Amino acid sequence: MSNPSTRLPASLRTEALEQLLTERGLVDPAVMDKFIATYETQVGPLNGAKVVAKAWTDPEYKERLLAEGTAAIKELGFSGPQGEHIVVVENSAKTHNVVVCSLCSCYPWPVLGLPPSWYKDPAYRARVVREPRAVLAEMGLQLDDDVEIIVRDSSSEVRWMVLPERPAGTEGLSEEELVGLVTRDAMVGVAKVAAPEAAR
């Protein structure tokens, strides 16, 4: 028989757990609120999307980003824990980078937020190193055989971020419009940025 609590929505279970921990004096609500606000407004894939859009529209910024990722990202105001050493690599029509942390789940939090569950999954961490093309295909990204795939292994010393290839048909879009196209998965390298409907 299943546990009735597992049928409750995750949000309600989380709220109940937070209330219990608060009542027992194990959690300070003010600290929790600060963490939540940080990850809702200051940390996450939207930051990374802004970095990508800036690089797509500003060649000089792109050059700085690829030469010294951490410093260029900090120019836009994004820094903090897990973002001390970010290296950015560019995807192109013939080269595709994909990121993994084969030992744990090192990840550039200031620009991508918290790592998704699949990124931490042992199967992804092991298989993408050995058979990246197959793993990417299973995740919905089919790459031609002549595309070189480079697996970038993040660590506590270096956290990788992908600068995705800019999709065709976006030349007339503003930086703000481009931000809306960029996904977290594209910045990890398990997806490409899709062109807007009007450009397809």
Question: Is 154 an active-site residue?
Answer: no
Identify the H or E element spanning 15: helix 10-23
**Letter string b/e over residues 118-129, b meaning 16 or more CB atoms within 10 A of that residue's CB:** ebeeeebbeebe
pTM over 0.75: yes
Active-site residue among 105, 117, 155, 156?
105
pLDDT tens for each residue of 18-56: 788 888 888 787 776 766 666 555 568 999 999 999 999
Please state, in angstroms and rounded to a whole number, the distance separating the CA atoms of residues 192 and 13.
34
Question: Is 106 an active-site residue?
Answer: yes
The CATH code of domain 45-194 reads: 3.90.330.10
Q: Map out the domains of the chain as residue ranges.
A: 9-41, 45-194
Active-site residue among 2, 92, 101, 154?
101
Active-site residue among 2, 79, 106, 117?
106
Please state, in angstroms and rounded to a whole number, the distance separating the CA atoms of residues 54 and 62.
7
Active-site residue among 2, 11, 92, 104?
104
pLDDT tens for each residue of 123-181: 999 999 999 999 999 999 999 999 999 999 999 999 999 999 999 999 999 999 999 99
